[in-house]
Amino acid sequence: MMSDYKVEMINDGMQEFYVEFHGPKDSPYQGGLWRIRVELPDAYPYKSPSIGFVNKIYHPNVDEMSGSVCLDVINQTWSPMFDLVNVFEVFLPQLLLYPNPADPLNGEAAAIMMRDRGVYEQRVKEYCEKYAKPEDVGAAGEDKSSDEELSEDDYGSSDDEVAGKADP
């Protein structure tokens, strides 16, 4: 079913996996490559899959921190007639081509898009360059886990430093 896509299974089950997704042509996302985490519920295809970007993407309808996608077809109007090919060939490309800033998960991206489309598209391209290359997809699930705690060195501070000056 997903023969045109690189799919990597998570654990031994068939319900969680990663899919490599290329940004649509003729869009600011062209040339970008994202790792999409897919989780199929037990009731699939009667219940919609959970879809999320693993590496960062700048888009009004994608939460920048979690990668969660705000997409009506997946989240609210899912039908058992849809399948994962629809998600990757129709729904996600349409989401990237036609963002909906009126229903944002990333308020900053939505505001910039509505205020200045050129600045928004430049920011999208910067994110593609920084976070959506093949090497980012390969490392996204292994080295860049958001669950890992940062060490004191990563924060650049220690308990000995004062957070700020006391009020007089």
**Residues annotated as catalytic (active site), given as ranges:** 70
Q: Are 34 and 131 in contact (CB under 8 A)?
A: no
H or E stretch at 50:
strand 50-53
Q: For the chain, list the strands marked E by DSSP.
A: 7-9, 16-22, 33-39, 50-53
Q: Residue 49 carries which DSSP code?
A: P
Give the full edge-to-edge strand order of the sheet including 16-22.
Answer: 7-9, 16-22, 33-39, 50-53
Sorted by sequence, the CB contacts under 8 Å of residue 87 that are 6+ apart come out as 38, 49, 51, 74
* 3-state DSSP assignment of residue 134: helix
